[in-house]
Homo-oligomer: A and B are copies of this chain.
Amino acid sequence: MKIALDALGGDYGVKPNILGAIKATKDFGCEVILVGDEAKIQEELKQHKYNPAKITVVHAPDMIDMEASPAMEYRRKKNASIVVCARLVKEGNADVMISAGNSGATMVAALFGLGRIQGVSRPAIASPMPTQTGFALIVDAGANADCNAVNLLQFGVLGSVYYKHIYGKPNATVGLLSIGEEEGKGNLLIKETTKYIRNLGLNYYGNIEGRDIHSGMIDIVVCDGFVGNIVLKTSEGLAKSLFKMIKSNLKGKPLAMLGMLLAKPALMKVKEVTDPDTFGGAPLLGVNGNVIISHGKSNEKAIYCAIKAGIKTVESKALKAMEEAIAAHKAVFDEAEGK
């Protein structure tokens, strides 16, 4: 098992990438290819103990400029770390690519470097979101700001197959995120999607509302990337704000402060299960290769968990199953597209 890791990705430089990689090679027996500026990587590497048979370095010093045209940047920056990661996967020299760098750049590199699964119109980010009972996958969590019905239908299929393979739940429930629970309620996109979604053989629940996401009643929440990203960020922001509000209301109340101290283990448990780091990044579904996007603020633990998720993704053979599922429902997608 070979992992191509964008060693420059993320807000904290090479260190968390390298620490996460070293720990992963020890625990999982995988090989990690650290892709990026070799001097910087070696500088950090020599400060740690690691197995050189399991950790290799590929020099890739360029950086993608997110302000420039993505397609142009992809062609020009052949030695950007994220582009090299995609090439390693494409050429069979790595099984999965992982990056905590700019998710837009990762998507561009993956899309151009690996191509799409045959029949997929747009890849989607499947982001795990903590719920009362575990987590739900939000598909799409931000890859596509504007979507059509075919996109949403495919997100449902991709998410459902991925969930089955990774989490061993064969009948994962799929909900269409909307306003109003009644069939067909929502915006034009939801109404159009509703016409076809029952033909996909999913364990389709129907429309769900925002309040249902965190209750844990649905495994896969299908929405366009604009809505999905806003839901994700709103949830992160609200959780943070609530904890801050509780903290600031404790001020000047010694008894309440003592109480909070005693309750801390229980609170930490909630914080732990809702910690995005433990989910190990979000797969990019629909590209022709295994790709895990980790968030920009990834620490050692987040990178370690992302590698774990990457290994699981490869071993589950979800990619092949997604290919087959997309091919199997071609007629539905064609109909929705008016072909």
Assess the A253–B266 pair: CB atoms within 8 A. yes
Q: Does A242 contact B259, Cβ atoms closer than 8 Å? A: no
Q: Which of B215, B241, B266 contacts A241 (CB 8 A)?
A: B215
Cβ of A211 under 8 Å from chain B: yes
- Considering only residues 240-261 of chain A, those with a C-beta below 8 Å from chain B are 240-242, 244-246, 249-250, 253, 255-261
What B residues does A179 contact at CB under 8 A?
142, 145, 225-226, 229-230, 233
Asked whether B259 lies within 8 Å of A246 as measured between CB atoms, the reply is no
Instruction: Kindly state whether residue A212 has any CB partner on chain B within 8 Å.
Output: yes
A256 CB contacts on chain B under 8 angstroms: 262-266
Q: Is A35 an interface position by the 8 A CB rule?
A: no
Stoichiometry, copies per complex: 2
Interface centre among A188, A211, A212 (most CB of B within 10 A): A211
Given contacts A226-B187, A238-B214, A246-B270, contact A233 B262 (CB under 8 A): no
Least CB separation from A211: chain B residue: B237
Does A42 make an interface contact (CB < 8 A)?
no
B265 touches A263 (CB 8 A): no
User: CB-CB contacts of A156-195 with B at 8 A, as 1s and 0s?
Assistant: 0000000000000000000001110000001110100000
Contacts of A213 in B (CB 8 A): 234, 237-238
Q: Is the CB of A209 within 8 A of B230?
A: yes
Residues of A94-143 at the interface with B, using a CB-CB cut-off of 8 Å, are: 131-132, 142
Encode contact with B along A19-56: 1 for CB under 8 Å, 0 otherwise: 00000000000000000000000000000000000000
Q: How far is the CA of A177 from the CA of B267 in the complex (A)?
A: 31
Let me know if A259 and B264 touch, CB within 8 A.
Answer: yes
Say whether A265 contacts B237, CB under 8 Å.
no
Q: At the interface, yes or no: A236 with Cβ under 8 Å from chain B?
A: yes
Any B CB within 8 A of the CB of A339: no
Is the CB of A315 closer than 8 A to any CB of chain B?
no
Say which residue of B210, B216, B237, B270 sits within 8 Å of A232 (CB atoms).
B210
Name the distance in Å between A245's Cβ and chain B's nearest Cβ: 5
Within 8 Å of chain B (Cβ to Cβ): is A239?
Answer: yes
| Interface contact A242-B242, CB-CB below 8 Å | yes
Contact with B along A201-238 (1 / 0, CB 8 A): 00000000111111110000000111101111111111
B238 touches A239 (CB 8 A): yes
- Do A245 and B232 contact each other (CB < 8 Å), given the known contacts A142-B179, A187-B226, A227-B226? no
Residues of A within 8 A of B (CB): 131-132, 142, 145-146, 177-179, 186-188, 190, 209-216, 224-227, 229-242, 244-246, 249-250, 253, 255-267, 269-270, 273-274
Chain A to chain B: the 10 pairs with minimum beta-carbon distance, closest first: A259-B262, A210-B233, A211-B237, A210-B234, A259-B263, A145-B187, A214-B241, A249-B266, A179-B229, A259-B259
Q: Can you report 16 A-B residue pairs in the complex whose CB atoms are below 8 A from each other? A: A177-B230, A179-B229, A187-B226, A209-B230, A209-B233, A210-B230, A210-B236, A211-B234, A211-B240, A214-B238, A246-B263, A249-B266, A253-B266, A256-B262, A258-B259, A259-B261
